[in-house]
Chains A and B, each alone.
Chain A
Amino acid sequence: MKNCLVVDDSKVIRKVARHILESLDLTVSEAVDGQDALTQCEASAPDVVLLDWNMPVMSGMEFLQALSSAKMTARPKIIFCTTENGIGHIKAAVEAGADEYVMKPFDRETLESKLVIVGVI
């Protein structure tokens, strides 16, 4: 089974995302901020990261920049999942290397669609 790392400082969002992702036959691990996510990625690279933008300690964008120099066997697919829904943020995320972008609020169909597009399911 493929693994998805859910990175969000909201416990509720992590819980909702976990419920959806597990129903799509993914195993799920969680991180509460970018730094936590980076540590987990270096220990064991997930197949895909569902990444919030605004988080304490290290933001989603800072995580994405740090990921490029992290010691990892394989780079995970990155799906931003954020309330930052402006076109400027979307462009910036893609230019920084995000593979996909989910504008909150999201539902099962949206997440499933994005996971298909990045080739994880």
Chain B
Amino acid sequence: MVMPPSPASTLQGAARILSGLLEARTGQVLSEGRAWRMETALRPVLRDHGLTDMDELAAKLLRKGDARLEQEVVDALLNNESSFFRDLQIFDMIHRQILPAIHADKTDRTLRIWSAGCSTGQEAYSLAIRLRNDAARWSGWRIEILATDISTAAIDQARSGIFSQMDVQRGLAVGDLLKWFEPSGEDWRASPELRRMIDFRHDNLFDAKAPTGAYDLLLCRNVLLYFSPERRQAVLSLLARHSHAGSILLLGAGETVIGQGDDFTAHPEFRGGYARQAALPEGAIGRVRRTG
């Protein structure tokens, strides 16, 4: 259903209607800074449906409910920019500090990671590569990586494991390319072993169905910046419900939990990371208890 955007929106006409659809479906607020590229982003949708401009598209959506067209518009308007090992220092911290801490503290030998807002999957594949390159450490462990995104197109691509030549050159070391990918025509495809490690699901961050139980490490990077303060707090509450005392949350650069409730606080050990705050249950990660 097409909805008007929040009253704070200054967009007009078709842009207002289409951004309202995006906000209703995803919670994302289209800022003035992103609105200028709406027509460019929607060009493939306009072409596929024989429409001349955004006014015709908005009129068609208002005239009759078309769930498929609505999803295509949402997919086109979402920013699916991603790269392997984006912000390399974060992945170094995960590799050198966070994963060893989880390994040392968890007695049930299960590692559960949630990449929330995973886009086309590079973040989840980067984690899988780090874990597979350290296979001896994780021998005998049950590892679950859940990766979710609101964009069906992004999830379909992520699940396929197929990336363009340009994609695999952004952040991926040549050693990992040779080890974990194989040529697929002009593109490259993640190995079956890597693909099997990740459960990619289409899901939103307000009424999430895919996550179950608590995750040890939650990544929700470069997602909150698109939401209103109220929506950010709702997402953080959801992440808190799927974490345990001592779970570690990583946000994007420039994103913070400050002023967004008290479920998470700055982690005492992991710079830029956040720790779930609550009484520690039996068997939970003990890093916060020891240092906090």
Binding site for B on A (CB under 8 A): 85-87, 90-91, 94, 98, 100-103, 106-107, 109-110, 113-114, 116-117
CA separation between A30 and B173, bound complex, in Å?
Answer: 25
Cβ contact of A110, chosen from B166, B173, B175, cutoff 8 A:
B166
CB atoms of A117 and B173 under 8 A apart: yes
Which residue of A is nearest B173, CB measured? A117
CB atoms of A91 and B169 under 8 A apart: no
Residues of A within 8 A of B88 (CB): 116-117
* Cβ of B137 under 8 Å from chain A: no
Residues of A within 8 A of B177 (CB): 90, 101
Residues of A within 8 A of B170 (CB): 109-110, 113
* Cβ of B174 under 8 Å from chain A: yes
Q: List 14 A-B contacts (CB under 8 A).
A: A85-B165, A87-B178, A87-B182, A87-B183, A90-B177, A91-B178, A100-B174, A101-B174, A106-B169, A110-B166, A110-B169, A110-B170, A113-B171, A117-B171
CA separation between A117 and B165, bound complex, in Å?
Answer: 17
Residues of A within 8 A of B166 (CB): 107, 110
Closest 4 CB pairs of A and B: A101-B174, A110-B169, A113-B170, A117-B173
Q: How far is the CB of B266 from chain A (nearest CB, A)?
A: 26
CB atoms of B169 and A94 under 8 A apart: no
Interface residues on B, range: 10 to 19
CB atoms of A113 and B183 under 8 A apart: no
What 0/1 readout, one digit per residue, does chain B (154-166) give for beta carbons within 8 Å of chain A? Answer: 0000000000011
Which residue of B is nearest A94, CB measured? B174
Binding site for A on B (CB under 8 A): 83, 88, 165-166, 169-171, 173-175, 177-178, 182-183
Question: With A107-B166, A113-B169 in contact, do A94 and B183 touch (Cβ < 8 Å)?
Answer: no
Question: With A90-B174, A90-B178, A113-B83 in contact, do A103 and B169 touch (Cβ < 8 Å)?
Answer: yes
CA separation between A114 and B166, bound complex, in Å?
Answer: 12
Q: How far is the CB of A26 from chain B (nearest CB, A)?
A: 18
Which residue of A is nearest B174, CB measured? A101
CA separation between A87 and B183, bound complex, in Å?
Answer: 7
Other A-B contacts than A110-B169, A117-B88, 4 sampled, CB-CB below 8 A, are A90-B178, A91-B178, A110-B166, A117-B171
Which residue of B is nearest A98, CB measured? B174
Q: How far is the CB of A53 from chain B (nearest CB, A)?
A: 14
Q: How far is the CB of A80 from chain B (nearest CB, A)?
A: 9
CB atoms of A102 and B169 under 8 A apart: yes
Question: With A103-B169, A107-B166, A113-B169 in contact, do A94 and B83 touch (Cβ < 8 Å)?
Answer: no
CA separation between A51 and B5, bound complex, in Å?
Answer: 51
Which residue of A is nearest B183, CB measured? A87
CA separation between A107 and B167, bound complex, in Å?
Answer: 11
Max count, chain B CB within 10 A of own CB: residue among A87, A98, A103, A113: A113
Q: How far is the CB of B180 from chain A (nearest CB, A)?
A: 13
CA separation between A100 and B171, bound complex, in Å?
Answer: 11
Residues of A within 8 A of B175 (CB): 94
Max count, chain A CB within 10 A of own CB: residue among B88, B169, B174, B183: B174
CA separation between A96 and B174, bound complex, in Å?
Answer: 13
Residues of B within 8 A of A90 (CB): 174, 177-178
Cβ contact of A94, chosen from B165, B171, B178, B182, cutoff 8 A:
B178
Residues of A within 8 A of B178 (CB): 87, 90-91, 94
CA separation between A96 and B175, bound complex, in Å?
Answer: 13
Residues of B within 8 A of A114 (CB): 169
Q: How far is the CB of A81 from chain B (nearest CB, A)?
A: 11
CB atoms of A103 and B165 under 8 A apart: yes
Q: How far is the CB of B147 from chain A (nearest CB, A)?
A: 22
Residues of B within 8 A of A98 (CB): 174
